[in-house]
Structure 1
Amino acid sequence: MERELADHLESLHADAYGWALHCCAGDFSRAEEVLQNAYLKLASGRSRPAGASSFKTWWFGVIRYTAHEEFRRLRYRESLLGKLWLQISGDFQDPRPSPSHQAELDEQTLQLRAALAQLPTRQAEVLHLVFYQDLTLSEAAVVMKVGLGSVRQHYERGKARLRSLLQTSDSDHENLLR
Protein backbone atom coordinates (compact mmCIF):
# COMPACT_ATOMS: atom_id res chain seq x y z
CA MET A 1 0.00 0.00 0.00
CA GLU A 2 2.74 2.48 0.96
CA ARG A 3 4.71 1.66 -2.19
CA GLU A 4 1.62 2.20 -4.33
CA LEU A 5 0.99 5.55 -2.63
CA ALA A 6 4.61 6.60 -3.17
CA ASP A 7 4.37 5.64 -6.85
CA HIS A 8 1.17 7.70 -7.24
CA LEU A 9 2.78 10.70 -5.59
CA GLU A 10 5.95 10.38 -7.65
CA SER A 11 4.02 10.20 -10.92
CA LEU A 12 1.97 13.27 -9.96
CA HIS A 13 4.78 15.37 -8.48
CA ALA A 14 5.32 17.66 -11.50
CA ASP A 15 1.58 18.22 -11.93
CA ALA A 16 1.18 18.70 -8.18
CA TYR A 17 3.91 21.34 -8.14
CA GLY A 18 2.25 23.10 -11.08
CA TRP A 19 -1.06 23.05 -9.23
CA ALA A 20 0.57 24.34 -6.03
CA LEU A 21 2.19 27.11 -8.07
CA HIS A 22 -1.20 28.02 -9.48
CA CYS A 23 -2.79 28.00 -6.00
CA CYS A 24 0.00 30.30 -4.78
CA ALA A 25 -0.42 32.80 -7.64
CA GLY A 26 2.97 31.98 -9.16
CA ASP A 27 5.01 32.39 -5.96
CA PHE A 28 7.64 29.63 -6.33
CA SER A 29 8.80 29.57 -2.72
CA ARG A 30 5.25 29.51 -1.34
CA ALA A 31 4.32 26.74 -3.78
CA GLU A 32 7.26 24.65 -2.56
CA GLU A 33 6.23 25.24 1.05
CA VAL A 34 2.60 24.36 0.33
CA LEU A 35 3.54 21.17 -1.48
CA GLN A 36 5.91 20.18 1.32
CA ASN A 37 3.18 20.78 3.92
CA ALA A 38 0.75 18.71 1.86
CA TYR A 39 3.28 15.86 1.80
CA LEU A 40 3.70 16.24 5.57
CA LYS A 41 -0.06 16.00 6.07
CA LEU A 42 -0.04 12.77 4.14
CA ALA A 43 3.03 11.37 5.92
CA SER A 44 1.69 12.19 9.38
CA GLY A 45 -1.67 10.61 8.61
CA ARG A 46 -3.64 13.85 8.94
CA SER A 47 -4.89 13.33 5.40
CA ARG A 48 -5.75 10.02 3.77
CA PRO A 49 -7.54 9.26 0.50
CA ALA A 50 -11.08 8.11 1.17
CA GLY A 51 -11.62 6.58 -2.25
CA ALA A 52 -14.62 8.80 -3.04
CA SER A 53 -12.75 10.39 -5.95
CA SER A 54 -9.68 9.65 -8.02
CA PHE A 55 -6.33 9.90 -6.26
CA LYS A 56 -5.30 12.88 -8.39
CA THR A 57 -8.51 14.78 -7.60
CA TRP A 58 -8.13 14.07 -3.90
CA TRP A 59 -4.43 15.03 -3.89
CA PHE A 60 -5.09 18.30 -5.72
CA GLY A 61 -7.82 19.07 -3.18
CA VAL A 62 -5.33 18.54 -0.34
CA ILE A 63 -2.87 20.88 -2.06
CA ARG A 64 -5.57 23.52 -2.65
CA TYR A 65 -6.73 23.34 0.95
CA THR A 66 -3.13 23.52 2.21
CA ALA A 67 -2.47 26.58 0.02
CA HIS A 68 -5.59 28.20 1.44
CA GLU A 69 -4.41 27.48 5.00
CA GLU A 70 -0.97 28.93 4.22
CA PHE A 71 -2.53 32.05 2.70
CA ARG A 72 -4.64 32.58 5.82
CA ARG A 73 -1.61 32.11 8.08
CA LEU A 74 0.42 34.54 5.99
CA ARG A 75 -2.35 37.12 6.00
CA TYR A 76 -2.72 36.76 9.78
CA ARG A 77 1.04 37.13 10.35
CA GLU A 78 1.17 40.17 8.07
CA SER A 79 -1.69 41.80 9.90
CA LEU A 80 0.03 41.23 13.25
CA LEU A 81 3.32 42.58 11.93
CA GLY A 82 1.51 45.56 10.45
CA LYS A 83 -0.17 46.34 13.76
CA LEU A 84 3.12 45.99 15.60
CA TRP A 85 4.89 48.29 13.13
CA LEU A 86 2.19 50.94 13.48
CA GLN A 87 2.42 50.70 17.25
CA ILE A 88 6.22 51.05 17.21
CA SER A 89 6.18 53.91 14.71
CA GLY A 90 3.58 55.80 16.75
CA ASP A 91 0.95 55.77 13.98
CA PHE A 92 -1.18 53.26 15.85
CA GLN A 93 -4.80 54.21 16.35
CA ASP A 94 -7.18 52.36 18.60
CA PRO A 95 -9.25 50.13 16.27
CA ARG A 96 -12.11 49.85 18.76
CA PRO A 97 -15.23 51.78 17.78
CA SER A 98 -16.57 54.58 19.90
CA PRO A 99 -19.16 53.58 22.53
CA SER A 100 -22.04 55.01 20.48
CA HIS A 101 -20.85 53.22 17.33
CA GLN A 102 -20.38 50.01 19.33
CA ALA A 103 -23.98 50.25 20.59
CA GLU A 104 -25.18 50.64 17.00
CA LEU A 105 -23.10 47.63 15.91
CA ASP A 106 -24.49 45.56 18.81
CA GLU A 107 -28.03 46.46 17.80
CA GLN A 108 -27.35 45.48 14.18
CA THR A 109 -25.82 42.19 15.34
CA LEU A 110 -28.92 41.43 17.39
CA GLN A 111 -31.15 42.21 14.41
CA LEU A 112 -29.08 39.95 12.17
CA ARG A 113 -29.12 37.10 14.68
CA ALA A 114 -32.88 37.42 15.12
CA ALA A 115 -33.38 37.39 11.34
CA LEU A 116 -31.09 34.36 10.93
CA ALA A 117 -33.05 32.51 13.62
CA GLN A 118 -36.21 32.98 11.54
CA LEU A 119 -34.71 31.27 8.48
CA PRO A 120 -35.27 27.58 7.75
CA THR A 121 -32.42 25.41 9.06
CA ARG A 122 -30.79 24.63 5.70
CA GLN A 123 -30.84 28.27 4.61
CA ALA A 124 -29.31 29.39 7.90
CA GLU A 125 -26.66 26.64 7.68
CA VAL A 126 -25.52 27.54 4.18
CA LEU A 127 -25.40 31.27 4.96
CA HIS A 128 -23.37 30.56 8.08
CA LEU A 129 -20.90 28.33 6.22
CA VAL A 130 -20.44 30.84 3.40
CA PHE A 131 -20.30 34.07 5.38
CA TYR A 132 -18.93 33.08 8.76
CA GLN A 133 -16.76 30.08 7.86
CA ASP A 134 -15.62 31.52 4.50
CA LEU A 135 -16.49 28.38 2.51
CA THR A 136 -17.46 28.26 -1.14
CA LEU A 137 -20.87 26.93 -2.11
CA SER A 138 -19.34 23.65 -3.30
CA GLU A 139 -17.46 23.26 0.00
CA ALA A 140 -20.66 24.01 1.88
CA ALA A 141 -22.40 21.30 -0.17
CA VAL A 142 -19.78 18.78 0.94
CA VAL A 143 -20.09 19.84 4.58
CA MET A 144 -23.89 19.71 4.47
CA LYS A 145 -23.83 16.46 2.47
CA VAL A 146 -26.29 17.75 -0.13
CA GLY A 147 -25.96 18.54 -3.82
CA LEU A 148 -24.46 21.76 -5.11
CA GLY A 149 -27.75 22.72 -6.78
CA SER A 150 -29.57 22.33 -3.48
CA VAL A 151 -27.01 24.49 -1.69
CA ARG A 152 -27.28 27.18 -4.38
CA GLN A 153 -31.04 27.20 -4.01
CA HIS A 154 -30.89 27.42 -0.19
CA TYR A 155 -28.25 30.15 -0.49
CA GLU A 156 -30.30 32.31 -2.87
CA ARG A 157 -33.56 31.79 -0.97
CA GLY A 158 -31.81 32.44 2.34
CA LYS A 159 -30.28 35.70 1.12
CA ALA A 160 -33.62 36.88 -0.27
CA ARG A 161 -35.49 35.96 2.92
CA LEU A 162 -32.81 37.53 5.13
CA ARG A 163 -32.92 40.71 3.04
CA SER A 164 -36.70 40.97 3.42
CA LEU A 165 -36.52 40.24 7.16
CA LEU A 166 -33.86 42.92 7.68
CA GLN A 167 -35.78 45.48 5.59
CA THR A 168 -38.92 44.74 7.62
CA SER A 169 -36.91 45.14 10.81
CA ASP A 170 -35.49 48.48 9.60
CA SER A 171 -38.94 49.82 8.73
CA ASP A 172 -40.30 48.69 12.13
CA HIS A 173 -37.38 50.43 13.83
CA GLU A 174 -38.03 53.66 11.90
CA ASN A 175 -41.74 53.55 12.82
CA LEU A 176 -40.79 53.27 16.51
CA LEU A 177 -38.62 56.38 16.23
CA ARG A 178 -41.46 58.49 14.75
Structure 2
Amino acid sequence: MSKPSIKINAQLNSIIQDENFDNFSVTQLLDSYLAMCAVTKEPNEARKYVYRQIHRLVKKGLLLKKGTKNSKRIVYQKSELFFETKFIEQNTTTSTANQITSAPSTTIDAIKQLEERLKESEVDLLTSIGESEEYMRLYQSFPEMKTHLESQYLQARERSSKLLGQIKAIKSVLSHQRK
Protein backbone atom coordinates (compact mmCIF):
# COMPACT_ATOMS: atom_id res chain seq x y z
CA MET A 1 0.00 0.00 0.00
CA SER A 2 1.42 3.40 -0.99
CA LYS A 3 1.69 6.33 1.36
CA PRO A 4 -1.13 8.87 1.15
CA SER A 5 0.06 12.23 -0.17
CA ILE A 6 -1.11 15.80 0.37
CA LYS A 7 -0.10 19.14 -1.09
CA ILE A 8 1.03 21.69 1.47
CA ASN A 9 2.61 25.12 1.56
CA ALA A 10 6.41 24.81 1.72
CA GLN A 11 6.80 27.10 4.75
CA LEU A 12 3.98 25.43 6.69
CA ASN A 13 5.42 22.02 5.87
CA SER A 14 8.87 22.89 7.18
CA ILE A 15 7.33 24.22 10.41
CA ILE A 16 4.99 21.29 10.98
CA GLN A 17 7.58 18.66 10.04
CA ASP A 18 9.87 19.84 12.84
CA GLU A 19 9.77 17.04 15.42
CA ASN A 20 9.69 19.59 18.26
CA PHE A 21 6.61 21.28 16.76
CA ASP A 22 3.74 19.31 18.29
CA ASN A 23 0.85 20.26 20.58
CA PHE A 24 0.72 23.71 18.95
CA SER A 25 -1.96 26.37 18.75
CA VAL A 26 -3.09 28.31 15.69
CA THR A 27 -1.26 31.35 17.08
CA GLN A 28 2.03 29.47 17.46
CA LEU A 29 1.84 28.17 13.89
CA LEU A 30 0.84 31.60 12.58
CA ASP A 31 3.74 33.32 14.38
CA SER A 32 6.22 30.79 13.01
CA TYR A 33 4.72 31.08 9.53
CA LEU A 34 4.86 34.90 9.49
CA ALA A 35 8.44 34.84 10.77
CA MET A 36 9.46 32.47 7.99
CA CYS A 37 7.71 34.18 5.07
CA ALA A 38 9.80 36.45 2.88
CA VAL A 39 6.77 38.33 1.54
CA THR A 40 5.17 40.75 3.99
CA LYS A 41 1.82 39.26 4.88
CA GLU A 42 -1.42 40.87 5.92
CA PRO A 43 -1.75 39.35 9.44
CA ASN A 44 -5.52 38.84 9.27
CA GLU A 45 -5.34 37.13 5.87
CA ALA A 46 -2.38 35.02 7.00
CA ARG A 47 -4.30 33.94 10.11
CA LYS A 48 -7.24 32.85 7.95
CA TYR A 49 -4.93 31.00 5.59
CA VAL A 50 -3.13 29.16 8.41
CA TYR A 51 -6.43 28.28 10.08
CA ARG A 52 -7.82 26.89 6.79
CA GLN A 53 -4.71 24.74 6.38
CA ILE A 54 -4.96 23.41 9.94
CA HIS A 55 -8.66 22.67 9.42
CA ARG A 56 -7.85 20.81 6.18
CA LEU A 57 -5.20 18.70 7.96
CA VAL A 58 -7.65 17.92 10.79
CA LYS A 59 -10.32 16.85 8.27
CA LYS A 60 -7.83 14.51 6.58
CA GLY A 61 -6.91 13.01 9.96
CA LEU A 62 -3.32 14.26 9.93
CA LEU A 63 -3.76 16.49 12.97
CA LEU A 64 -5.81 15.84 16.08
CA LYS A 65 -7.64 18.72 17.73
CA LYS A 66 -7.34 18.69 21.53
CA GLY A 67 -9.49 20.88 23.76
CA THR A 68 -13.13 21.83 24.06
CA LYS A 69 -14.97 23.41 21.14
CA ASN A 70 -15.16 26.99 22.49
CA SER A 71 -11.94 26.83 24.47
CA LYS A 72 -9.12 29.24 23.73
CA ARG A 73 -6.67 26.49 24.69
CA ILE A 74 -7.12 24.31 21.63
CA VAL A 75 -3.94 22.56 20.56
CA TYR A 76 -3.20 20.40 17.57
CA GLN A 77 -1.30 17.13 17.74
CA LYS A 78 0.23 15.10 14.92
CA SER A 79 -1.61 11.81 14.37
CA GLU A 80 -0.12 8.47 13.35
CA LEU A 81 -1.40 9.14 9.82
CA PHE A 82 0.65 12.35 9.78
CA PHE A 83 3.88 10.37 9.94
CA GLU A 84 2.72 7.99 7.20
CA THR A 85 1.77 10.76 4.78
CA LYS A 86 3.92 12.06 1.95
CA PHE A 87 3.81 15.87 1.86
CA ILE A 88 4.17 17.54 -1.54
CA GLU A 89 5.42 21.07 -1.05
CA GLN A 90 3.90 23.92 -3.01
CA ASN A 91 5.78 27.15 -3.46
CA THR A 92 3.79 30.21 -2.33
CA THR A 93 5.46 32.73 -4.58
CA THR A 94 2.45 32.70 -6.90
CA SER A 95 -1.19 32.19 -5.98
CA THR A 96 -1.04 31.76 -2.20
CA ALA A 97 1.27 34.71 -1.68
CA ASN A 98 -1.02 36.89 -3.77
CA GLN A 99 -4.01 35.86 -1.67
CA ILE A 100 -2.26 36.58 1.61
CA THR A 101 -0.44 39.80 0.87
CA SER A 102 -2.16 43.06 1.57
CA ALA A 103 -5.17 43.28 -0.70
CA PRO A 104 -5.35 46.00 -3.35
CA SER A 105 -8.83 46.90 -2.09
CA THR A 106 -7.14 48.10 1.11
CA THR A 107 -5.07 50.52 -0.97
CA ILE A 108 -8.16 51.66 -2.88
CA ASP A 109 -10.00 52.25 0.41
CA ALA A 110 -7.03 54.20 1.76
CA ILE A 111 -6.91 56.35 -1.38
CA LYS A 112 -10.65 57.08 -1.10
CA GLN A 113 -10.26 58.06 2.55
CA LEU A 114 -7.27 60.26 1.76
CA GLU A 115 -9.12 61.97 -1.10
CA GLU A 116 -12.08 62.64 1.20
CA ARG A 117 -9.74 64.02 3.86
CA LEU A 118 -8.04 66.19 1.24
CA LYS A 119 -11.39 67.69 0.15
CA GLU A 120 -12.33 68.42 3.76
CA SER A 121 -8.97 70.07 4.44
CA GLU A 122 -9.20 72.16 1.27
CA VAL A 123 -12.70 73.36 2.26
CA ASP A 124 -11.42 74.16 5.75
CA LEU A 125 -8.48 76.06 4.23
CA LEU A 126 -10.76 78.16 2.02
CA THR A 127 -12.97 78.86 5.05
CA SER A 128 -9.96 79.92 7.11
CA ILE A 129 -8.62 82.17 4.33
CA GLY A 130 -12.08 83.74 3.95
CA GLU A 131 -12.21 84.27 7.70
CA SER A 132 -8.81 85.98 7.83
CA GLU A 133 -9.74 88.20 4.85
CA GLU A 134 -12.96 89.21 6.59
CA TYR A 135 -11.05 90.14 9.77
CA MET A 136 -8.88 92.44 7.61
CA ARG A 137 -11.97 94.10 6.11
CA LEU A 138 -13.55 94.47 9.55
CA TYR A 139 -10.35 96.02 10.87
CA GLN A 140 -10.46 98.60 8.07
CA SER A 141 -14.12 99.36 8.87
CA PHE A 142 -13.71 99.33 12.66
CA PRO A 143 -10.18 100.42 13.59
CA GLU A 144 -11.25 100.83 17.25
CA MET A 145 -11.51 96.99 17.48
CA LYS A 146 -7.91 96.58 16.36
CA THR A 147 -6.72 94.46 19.30
CA HIS A 148 -9.51 91.90 19.12
CA LEU A 149 -9.61 91.71 15.32
CA GLU A 150 -5.84 91.42 15.04
CA SER A 151 -5.70 88.42 17.41
CA GLN A 152 -8.59 86.75 15.54
CA TYR A 153 -6.85 87.44 12.20
CA LEU A 154 -3.59 85.90 13.45
CA GLN A 155 -5.40 82.79 14.73
CA ALA A 156 -7.16 82.36 11.35
CA ARG A 157 -3.83 82.71 9.53
CA GLU A 158 -2.24 80.14 11.83
CA ARG A 159 -5.11 77.71 11.13
CA SER A 160 -4.60 78.34 7.40
CA SER A 161 -0.91 77.48 7.70
CA LYS A 162 -1.67 74.26 9.59
CA LEU A 163 -4.30 73.27 7.04
CA LEU A 164 -1.89 73.97 4.20
CA GLY A 165 0.63 71.65 5.88
CA GLN A 166 -2.04 68.95 6.25
CA ILE A 167 -2.97 69.30 2.58
CA LYS A 168 0.65 68.95 1.51
CA ALA A 169 1.07 65.84 3.68
CA ILE A 170 -2.12 64.22 2.36
CA LYS A 171 -1.14 64.98 -1.24
CA SER A 172 2.28 63.46 -0.63
CA VAL A 173 0.79 60.26 0.78
CA LEU A 174 -1.78 60.12 -2.04
CA SER A 175 0.89 60.38 -4.72
CA HIS A 176 2.85 57.60 -2.99
CA GLN A 177 -0.24 55.35 -2.74
CA ARG A 178 -1.13 55.84 -6.40
CA LYS A 179 2.27 54.57 -7.59
Structure with the bigger percentage of strand: 2
Task: State the TM-score bracket (shorter-chain normalisation).
Answer: under 0.3
Structure with the bigger percentage of helix: 1
Max Rg structure: 2
> TM-score if structure 1 supplies the norm length?
0.28
> TM-score if structure 2 supplies the norm length?
0.28
